[in-house]
Chains A and B, each alone.
Chain A
């Protein structure tokens, strides 16, 4: 029984996104679709424990879930016309449960439609993320709440509100028309990247669930690339995620301390992820239509191809950050550019850039600005000034992992000169 349960769970993980997408198309309701799918999985568990596994488990479950939908529709006598529509629409998909080959074409379209519906910009960002993970990722409400450090109640409410809006405001279940497609795709990519980053950020929370978030973001982006082939920014995003994920095990040491890129043990980086990430990045760039994700993937690729921090082509990195500043200016990008220039042309040059930034005052309360200054000053052996900047950074962040890193740097500087 336990073995069967594990098998069913793994089928759920793999197939629930596809199955629910087709159920939503037919029922036009997230709630009905979810109910039907859960009922079908429960039925599978009880049927298979006595009658054994069918030849094609996922087709069995899909067919069972579609029958559940018809049952619900029958129960709802007042909505006769919808029932007719259901019968009509399920006729050709359910008639032969073994005919998976024929079904897969519809399934792919369904999943693509579902991605766009879940990431519709008329839903707020939190709702887009929760809905994507719940319906396409098959994560439970508890798991998602855990991952985002939110009370389960809050997350459940968010999902209810989002599904209600989709139905009541009639957010369509379609792949957007050509004129809005690029903009809508941007929204999809942003959601996928947010999910990845939530899992990747070393801030806090349950490590296993965070790993799961990254894996899920990669899996969904991979699906997007399969469903919409040859879109360079999609490929760039997948490449970027893989290249970052390859370093995941080396970013925090056994004591839970942040390990900078410079200090990471590169022999522990995941080679398979690097190979695939590099291949995707090159493929994307070869299409000659660069975008912010491709540029970031290119930066990650330079790091991935360097055996040590010292051997890194920092000029190339600085040039890529400059490119990124034009396409997607942000405080982090400016700081990373300054740091790369510091590595390529010497710390003084990096400081000149940071001084230019500080004139605007926009980064005055941003801890990473002071941390970046401190690192450059440390390289120049301007110890006293570096300590002051590390102290400023420390006073501006509550993130435990970052605080530990800053303290370590301060201790290193202090210990060297026997002060503090």
Chain B
């Protein structure tokens, strides 16, 4: 089953260049490990939440708002999609995802991807 791992970090707490390099290295190792196990499907970092635009339909009109849909302490910063046997395996991988600089807060939300069964679905 494919699981999406949504990474939330605190953007306000700026990391040093050195810390950023450490985080990037952590992600590289993780992606390589997952690829070697044949379970890697996708992973990407996102630009900061300040670049977000929320689109909403209201009374038949498109309403645009500057920023993410919800104001939270931690912002969506990136994601992984891994194909795991079960939740335990997914949680084990999620625990290895570097969320922010060492000692600073962050978390990963693990959600199973709903598989749409049908003739056109490539992933089953």
Q: Are B88 and A176 in contact (CB under 8 A)?
A: yes
Alpha-carbon gap, A120 to B92, bound state (A): 14
Alpha-carbon gap, A174 to B86, bound state (A): 10
A360 within 8 A of B: no
Interface positions, chain B 82-120, Cβ under 8 Å from A, are 85-88, 91-92, 110-112, 114
B1 within 8 A of A: yes
From A60-68, A165-173, A326-334, the one touching the partner chain is A165-173
A180 within 8 A of B: yes
24 A–B contacts, CB within 8 A, in A order: A120-B87, A122-B87, A122-B91, A168-B112, A168-B114, A169-B87, A169-B110, A169-B111, A169-B112, A170-B1, A170-B86, A170-B87, A170-B112, A171-B86, A171-B87, A171-B88, A172-B85, A172-B86, A172-B87, A172-B88, A174-B88, A176-B88, A180-B88, A180-B92
- Chain B residues within 8 Å of A, Cβ to Cβ: 1, 85-88, 91-92, 110-112, 114
What's the tally of chain A residues with a CB closer than 8 Å to chain B? 10
Which of chain B's residues has its CB closest to A167's CB? B112
Contacts of B112 in A (CB 8 A): 168-170
Which of chain B's residues has its CB closest to A121's CB? B91
Contacts of A172 in B (CB 8 A): 85-88
Which of B85, B91, B111 gathers most chain A CB within 10 Å?
B91
Alpha-carbon gap, A418 to B114, bound state (A): 73
- Distance in Å: Cβ of B58 to nearest Cβ of chain A: 30
Lowest 7 CB-CB distances: which A-B pairs, in order? Answer: A172-B86, A170-B86, A171-B87, A169-B112, A169-B87, A172-B88, A170-B87
Which of chain A's residues has its CB closest to B91's CB? A122
Which of A170, A171, A176, A180 gathers most chain B CB within 10 Å?
A170
Contacts of B85 in A (CB 8 A): 172
Interface positions, chain A 144-185, Cβ under 8 Å from B, are 168-172, 174, 176, 180
Contacts of B88 in A (CB 8 A): 171-172, 174, 176, 180
